[in-house]
Amino acid sequence: MAEPAGTDRDPEAVSRFVEQFAAQLVEAGLPRMPARVFAALLSSDTGVLTSAELGERLKISPAAVSGAVRYLAQQHMVSREREPGSRRERYRVHGNQWYEALANRETVIRRWEDGLREGVASLGPATPAGRRLAETLAFFEFVEREVEAMMERWRVCREEQFGRG
């Protein structure tokens, strides 16, 4: 899926951006290949690329693309879709991918909270380990409340800046 006509870009500058942004994502904890694939999708005007296009842009193998996309899909950062009339898959990054990725983290945080509650009960809230787990639990409960409020503020801000989408 080629970029729309009329997009005058220096391919080397785009490649530098992809690699630099991917390096920042790696510093934040994302594995290297998923970071590169994500940055390539993000920098595509359409937000959609096939495996072959990703491989060509990043000079990586189909297996590397497949593994990276699998990871990104599990993190809710990209989605897979079939090319119309074809068996080929293409991969899409959405404008609200950060929102979706963060929203889906809430499920993980809730599981951690449940585990921490069990740990506090098992260890006893008055023991040093139990207190440490209770403080960790309180932190995650605080973060969860704050993220929910922040996400609502973002929905309003996004609609004001970019309209419904």
pLDDT tens digits, the chain, 165 residues: what are they?
455 555 678 989 999 999 999 999 999 999 999 999 999 999 999 999 999 999 999 999 999 999 999 999 988 889 999 877 888 889 999 777 777 777 777 777 888 899 999 999 999 999 999 999 999 999 999 988 898 899 889 889 989 998 876
Q: Does domain 11-92 have CATH number 3.30.360.10?
A: no
Say which DSSP state 3 is in: P
- Distance between CA 66 and CA 39 in Å, rounded? 15
Q: What is the pLDDT of residue 102?
A: 73
The predicted pLDDT at position 105 comes to 75
Which pLDDT score, from 0 to 100, does residue 164 have?
A: 77
> What pLDDT sits at residue 163?
85
**CA 133 to CA 139: how far, in whole Å?**
10
Q: What is the pLDDT of residue 96?
A: 74
- Boundaries of every domain in the chain: 11-92, 97-162
Residue 93, judged by CB atoms within 10 A of its CB (0-12, 13-18, 19+), counts as buried
